[in-house]
Structure 1
Amino acid sequence: MYTIGIFRDSSQPVLDYTKKFVRLGHEVTLLQVGEVDSELTNMDAFIIEESAVTDLACICKNILELRMRSNKLIWVLLIDNDEEAKTKKKIYLQLDADGVSVYEEEFVLQFSNILKRIENKEYPTHSQTTSSTAPLLELLPENLSVLREGKVEISLTKLEFKVLELLIDKHDKALTYEEIYQHIWSNESAEKKEYRVSNIMFHLRGKIEEDPTTPKFIKTVRTIGYKLALDQQVNRLGMNKA
């Protein structure tokens, strides 16, 4: 059914859940933590296992590299559910991981169900693709907000509004991390530019997407950055030149 790549430290024992994936008909490929290469294009989803020897920086690097190369489902499995785990979860989600959890018995079924939903959304029915008269997104600069599909007005921060304005101006064109960073922060220097861009995209998706785990608007473009995918005309109320 699906090919799932699992990043696991070689010293880590094989957990029972991988066998359950196989019994459900999935193909499981074990990958070495920290090694992300072009062969990963054949995977449908990724799981990154935390271990006693994989540190926070290593997993963060894995997430960033995977997200640059793929828009596939990325999940992190934690060892413990403690106070430190809460901080790690927030960091991993900010880096664009789709989910973070401590392994439980129900995890295999939950993960399989998410994969099925993603597949169904990638191939919508005719009724789902029929366009409505309302534009998908309307920027409302006087309110510092965006109107989604003519129904829901969503408040944005100044930075979120600024980056969404750029995405709308260049909609359906892939923008690099560098282009987005320069538009928001100009010549301000920073070591972790991709992290800062991923972080603001994470928060923006959380506001404008109905389901941030399978974004409809803000798409990750492998090895490049992001683009805004729109099928209908984009309106920018109050921004037309006289």
Structure 2
Amino acid sequence: MYRIGVVNFEGNTSEWEQLQTIIPSEWTLIPIVEDSKDRYDLIIIVENSLKQVGEICGQLIQVKKEADSLIWIWSVVQNEMNRMVYLKLGADGVKTDSLKLEEWLLVAENALKRKKVISNLQTEKTVQESRCEGIVLNHRNRSVVVNETEEVQLTNLEYKAMDLLFKNMGKTVTYEEMYQVIWEEEESTERKFYRISNLIFHIRQKFIQETSATETIRTVRSKGYVLNV
């Protein structure tokens, strides 16, 4: 389902009625009122006359500044200079009589689908990765990527340790905190210290062997570890 916002300065309903009859069923057509903060996938600005060029330019600039919606000018006039101005200001296109409705619908729908795919990929990437300067924790691969090219594969326990350090970036994670997240077992303090130290040692060895990063994890004496950012 796509939200399609329509800006019509004159309030003429003829273009609005025409839009309602030709839009796909999965499009929801919504008139945009002044100072609306709603989110739209596509914004259509109706140009009823040449006199509206100033208002349309202002609306275009505002939308480009505040939203990432696709923007089309729906023009009932034929003016090449206006079209060039709108395109230079960032409009994705200008619908005039020279562009058939069927063709415009295909162009707009393809752009909407592509925008949705890109948005989903960006969301997925955000979920799948944690970042600090020069280091990326890839949740899907359970690995760490250094300098965008060098990848270090982690075991399940090593991944848990790195994930905890990323979540507390710049802060010291104590031995006890790390142990409870990774093992959740009751053991002596000495045993906990040994298991954590051994785990971090192996992670560091992987960084040394497979990348040029030698001090990714810094020891905070008698307390724990911190991701070195």
Q: When the two structures are superposed, what TM-score results if normalisation uses the length of structure 1?
A: 0.44
Structure with larger Rg: 2
Higher helix proportion: 2
Using the size of structure 2 for normalisation, the TM-score is 0.46
Larger RCO, structures 1/2 (Cα 8 Å, 6+ apart): 1
